[in-house]
């Protein structure tokens, strides 16, 4: 299996992308921001198509769109910035704001898909399919290395803010009184989730990204209540799901790698529920 360059590239990129998804996902679950994560995963679709329609690298559109919308959602809703005491959770007003953004960006996706199809021929369907369902077996060596570096950078940034972010999530009023910049942390964290969404779109696609973001993290929450052990476990479970999914997809050529990865991530969550 490892004699194939496409498989080595997929394992390199996928491992670091999964690590970023798992570690960030632990905080997404804790802060009750799953809906925000779902919305950001779908932002990748119009972002990539907008870049393609403008004739620039689709990855530029992915990162710009997801980070910008992540920051915008954080500024629109209070609980998107500071989770409520007692473990987080969104308010109806925040869900409304996120839902409006969600529908708006999907509408933009349809617009850019139509615009792109006018002069792109068969490239439209290929670009849309890659964005929606991922194309990790199609990554070149350079793309794989960039994905690994970006994934590692996301994890390092998360570790830098992990302690104050945990404090601001569990006790936002106390954290604010102690001088923790809770609003800035909330905005920065959703921007970080936007980076994760953009990067993971290459691996599992916009439609399935939420599974890799949420399932390993939710399993880690079930298995341990210790915060930093939970973050590490979430990252490990996400990497296991990614590697095992890629191996399974290689063994069964008719099985899409994104489907295999998410199926194993969900199976890990199911096993944690039984445990």
| Number of helical (H) and strand (E) elements in the chain, helices listed first | 11, 0
pTM given for the model: 0.83
User: What would the mean pLDDT of 17-41 be, rounded to a whole number?
Assistant: 88
**pLDDT value for 38:** 79
Confidence of residue 270 (pLDDT cuts 50, 70, 90): very high
pLDDT tens-digit series, residues 201-224: 777 776 677 888 999 999 999 999
Between vectors from CA 34 to CA 28 and to CA 38, what angle results, nearest 5°? 120
Residues 35-55 as b/e (b if ≥16 CB within 10 A, e otherwise) read bbbbbbbbbbbbbbbbbbbee
Position 80 scores a pLDDT of 43
pLDDT of residue 182: 86
Least confident of 96-105, 118-127, 177-186: 118-127
Assess whether pLDDT exceeds 90 at residue 50.
Answer: no
What's the chain's length in residues?
Answer: 275
Higher pLDDT among residues 205 and 159, named by residue: 159
Instruction: Kindly calculate the radius of gyration of the chain based on its CA atoms and give it in whole angstroms.
Output: 18
């Amino acid at each position: 299996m490892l004699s194939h360059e496409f498989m080595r590239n997929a394992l390199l990129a996928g491992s670091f992308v999964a690590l970023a998804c798992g570690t960030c996902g632990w905080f997404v679950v804790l802060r009750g921001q799953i809906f925000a994560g779902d919305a950001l995963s779908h932002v990748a679709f119009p972002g990539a198509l907008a870049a393609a329609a403008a004739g620039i690298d689709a990855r530029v559109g992915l990162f710009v769109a997801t980070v910008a919308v992540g920051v915008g959602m954080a500024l629109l809703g209070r609980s998107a910035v500071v989770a409520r005491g007692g473990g987080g959770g969104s308010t109806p007003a925040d869900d409304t704001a996120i839902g409006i953004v969600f529908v708006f960006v999907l509408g933009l996706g349809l617009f850019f898909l139509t615009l792109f199809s006018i002069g792109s021929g068969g490239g439209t369907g290929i670009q849309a399919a890659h964005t929606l369902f991922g194309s990790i077996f199609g990554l070149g060596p350079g793309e794989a290395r960039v994905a690994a570096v970006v994934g590692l950078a996301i994890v390092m940034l998360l570790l830098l803010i992990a302690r104050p972010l945990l404090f601001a999530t569990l006790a936002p009023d106390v954290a604010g009184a102690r001088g923790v910049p809770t609003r800035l942390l909330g905005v920065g964290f959703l921007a970080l989730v936007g980076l994760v969404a953009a990067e993971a779109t290459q691996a599992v696609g916009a439609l399935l990204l939420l599974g890799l973001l949420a399932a390993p993290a939710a399993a880690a929450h079930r298995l341990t209540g210790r915060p930093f052990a939970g973050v590490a476990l979430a990252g490990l479970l996400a990497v296991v799901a990614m590697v095992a999914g890629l191996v399974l997809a290689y063994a069964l050529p008719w099985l899409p790698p994104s489907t295999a990865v998410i199926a194993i991530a969900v199976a890990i969550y199911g096993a944690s529920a039984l445990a």
